[in-house]
Amino acid sequence: MLTIKNLSKRFGETQAVNDLSFNVYPGQITGLIGQNGAGKTTAFHSILNFLNYSGEILWNDQPITENTLDEIGYLPEERSLLQKMTIEQHILYLAKLKGKRAQAIKPLINDWLAKFQVKGGRKDLIKSLSKGNQQKVQLICTLIHQPKLIILDEPFSGLDPVNADLLKNAVVEMKEKGAAIIFSSHDMSNVEAVCDRLVMLRKGRSVLNGTLDEVREQFGRTEL
């Protein structure tokens, strides 16, 4: 379980995250929603130790360390792939960074490319792919090492409905394998379709936190 207690982060005069507390449970999907600038990405970067922060962040009751990061899959909002690598080289490179051996990952690549309907072979260069297919390759890199905690920052951005459904199916499959998953999104239809829990941020503070049923009971279906 991911535990966030009293997380706060300030950038100069801006309070990006303010006393944020919530849990992300194994086998569940949590949606983190809020307007641009609400603090979603700052919360993710704090979890990943990209930032100094105040408060406490624990994975299975232990601080997150370099070894713990091998158990995490992270898809950033900004897409960044090494354009001169082939699809296979890129997937293997990032898998190795997560402590996986190439011999264990190579046999999986074709199945993952088929699962996400990537239009390109494993020997094709990243730069030859469309932006949508590059995004799907980056998602494969996020998931192929079977992380126990998955963090997806605006994963549906730029995806058409067909590819959004492929992503939803993959996320649900990882949930069913026991992963703890959190993703941010501006689209409530995506959140409601796959999430078990919801955290809404406003100016860095949590203004909603609970299961979708709990949120509906408190605020009403129309308000949600």
Parallel/antiparallel/unpaired status of strands 54-59 and 2-11: antiparallel
Listed in order, the ranges of the chain carrying CATH 3.40.50.300 are: 1-71+151-224
Torsion of CA 200, 202, 207, 210, to 10 degrees: 10
pLDDT band, very low/low/confident/very high, at 222 (cuts 50, 70, 90): low
Q: Tell me the C-alpha distance between 106 and 112, whole Å.
A: 11
Q: What amino acid is encoded at 2 in this protein?
A: L
- pLDDT (tens digit, 9 = 90+) per residue, 138-184? 999 999 999 999 999 988 877 888 888 898 999 999 999 999 999 99
Place of tokens 């239809």: 189
What's the CATH class of domain 1-71+151-224? alpha beta
What's the pTM value of the predicted model, to 2 decimals? 0.90
End-to-end CA distance of the chain: 26
